[in-house]
Amino acid sequence: MTLEGKVAIVTGGNSGIGKAIVLELAAQGASVVVDYVSHPEATEALEQQLAALGDDKVIGVEADVSKVADLQRLIDKSVEAFGRVDIMVNNAGVETRTDVLSTTEEQYDFVMNVNLKSAFFGTQIAAKQMIAQGDGGAIITISSVHEDWPMPGNTAYCLSKGGAKMLTRTAGQELGPHGIRMINVGPGAVATPINAATMADPEKMKTLDTAIPLGRMAQPEEIAGVVAFLASDAGAYLNATTVFVDGGLMHSSPGL
């Protein structure tokens, strides 16, 4: 597996799963554009970490992916810096942990815009660039087990990930003839900042670990390795589908 000569964009790339994906794609030889919306110091640290390994093929770009103009600028910056885009990773995501009765319009828009609108237009703009280049590409959206699996108390999040499922199923049909593969990666529970509250609560962690057949949360690197595989030629026949990386969580029956 190599990504030598490939150019990748990772949205929300300076923390958690996104950061691990940036490091893994760079380790496999890709040039990487790290999108971020906050914590510029984390992006700088990531650039320095890769520079120390002798890798200067990484740039940070500040862009709010819930805005189409920012997404366009992100893709333009990639072309300006590295000449092309081969791999688009729609990773940025947020949640409000609110149910259908309590979610406000503001919370709904926040979750849907960051998680789903960004994936839709990130796909559209990256695909137009890939079609202009003429030799295909891979668009990978970090979805969740919750693209299929209801999570009461996090309704808008589930809705956004369900939408991401149909984005990949449908756009995979439309873009396949251009050699562009659409794939979702659906993590279960991963040890990242998005789960800080759960990780700080030993009781919740015990319940979660019991529900996961492998008995533990994933580390971000265990998601990143799958993304690199899917982006490479080793994953060349995957399209319009989801690869769940959940330790068996989605199909477990704890306590039964």
**Rounded CA separation 52/45 (Å):** 10
* Residue 151 binding ligand NAD, by CB under 6 A: no
* Residue 171 binding ligand NAD, by CB under 6 A: no
Beta bridge mates, 168? none
The interface with ligand NAD within residues 197-226 (CB under 6 A) comprises none
* Residue 11 binding ligand NAD, by CB under 6 A: yes
Here the tokens at position 159 are 């809705």
Contacts of residue 80, defined as CB under 8 A and 6 or more positions apart, other chains included, come to none
* Residue 107 binding ligand NAD, by CB under 6 A: no
Our CB check for ligand NAD shows the closer of 7 and 9 to be 9
* Residue 17 binding ligand NAD, by CB under 6 A: yes
Q: Which stretch binds ligand NAD (CB under 6 A): 11-19, 166-174, 202-210, 228-236?
A: 11-19
* Residue 184 binding ligand NAD, by CB under 6 A: no
**Rounded CA separation 63/55 (Å):** 23
Q: Which stretch binds ligand NAD (CB under 6 A): 49-57, 77-85, 189-197, 199-207?
A: 189-197
Our CB check for ligand NAD shows the closer of 193 and 255 to be 193
* Residue 66 binding ligand NAD, by CB under 6 A: yes
9, 85, 88, 114: which one binds ligand NAD (CB under 6 A): 114
**Rounded CA separation 161/116 (Å):** 7
Our CB check for ligand NAD shows the closer of 28 and 154 to be 154
Instruction: Give least dist CB 162 to ligand NAD, A.
Output: 12
Q: Number of residues in contact with ligand NAD, rule: CB under 6 A?
A: 27
* Residue 47 binding ligand NAD, by CB under 6 A: no
31, 43, 78, 91: which one binds ligand NAD (CB under 6 A): 91
Catalytic residue numbers read: 157
Instruction: Give least dist CB 111 to ligand NAD, A.
Output: 10
Which positions touch ligand NAD (CB under 6 A)? 11-12, 14-18, 35, 37-38, 64-66, 91-94, 114, 142, 144, 187, 189-190, 192-195
